[in-house]
Amino acid sequence: MTHNLAQCRILVKKAVQAGSKALFLPEASDYIASSPAESVSLVRSVEKSEFVLGLREEARRSKLPIHVGVHEPGLDPSKVKNTVLWINEGGEIAHRYQKLHMFDVDIKDGPALKESNSVEPGNEIPTPFDTPFGKVGPTICFDLRFPEISIALKRLGADIITYPSAFTVPTGKAHWEVLLRARAIETQCYVIAAAQVGRHNEKRLSYGHSMIINPWGVVVAELGGTSEEPEIATAEIDQDLLRKARLEVPLPRRTDVYPEV
């Protein structure tokens, strides 16, 4: 976690130098463990986590809000929560979201992972929260495969939907960009997807390719699949483009035919 905090401090510095209004970091930015037991042994409450306390200090010092994925202790002591925090410019934890969908997969010639063995799923879709650049609706990684969440967030007023992630390489190559662009197009929202990249341990390798996508489905910023040092991608959130996309292609729901999400 000390190493990861140092990496994130570099990203904070780069974001400030770029004039960014906020920094969006990936899922599980504090650590990615090699086993469920290790994950549980490493977890700390946000009040005691060196990683979270360090980022709160950075946010306060830089006056830069930070959106970051971390682990928190579960209600079941044998499990953790996979959450994303919004740390405001005063260094306070203003919002949090707990991942709804667990990554339980067994891919031929790829990873066999069962997140539900060590992670407690959340039980609610968050209300989008206000920022100077629009209302943000958070989700996490595997939630990307379930459009019901993003559609619900749009209905609740989201302008931006986030997908902090640690996608595997096989699923990333096949589905990452197409799913992100689909979520942007169907919700007419900006999508911000900060992604882990590279090897974490002998068992885990992440796809990378962090992206920012506009409401028309255009990738306006992207990082690569390898990185020698921490990188950021930046883009402008254009409220006029949001309004234009929604005005020109209205998407009224036929809730008389199918249920409202």
Q: For residue 112, give the nearest of 237, 203, 224 by alpha carbon.
A: 203
Angle, alpha carbons 32-36-39 (nearest 5°)? 45
Calpha distance 69→96 (Å, rounded): 9
Calpha distance 39→230 (Å, rounded): 23
Calpha distance 182→68 (Å, rounded): 23
Pairing of strands 104-106, 112-114: antiparallel
Q: For residue 185, give the nearest of 222, 154, 139, 142 by alpha carbon.
A: 154
Which of these is catalytic: 81, 99, 135, 154?
A: 99
Q: Is 228 a catalytic residue?
A: no
Q: Is 48 a catalytic residue?
A: no
Q: Is 99 a catalytic residue?
A: yes
Whether the Cβ atoms of residue 40 and residue 78 lie closer than 8 Å to each other: yes
Which of these is catalytic: 8, 27, 72, 79?
A: 27
Question: Residue 127 gets which letter from DSSP?
Answer: P
Across-strand partners of 191?
161, 213
Calpha distance 202→132 (Å, rounded): 41
Q: In which region does residue 127 sit, left (phi positive, over 0), alpha (psi from -120 to 50) or beta (all else)?
A: beta
Residue type, 140: I
Which of these is catalytic: 115, 120, 141, 154?
A: 141
Calpha distance 165→97 (Å, rounded): 14
Across-strand partners of 222?
211
Active-site residue list:
27, 99, 141
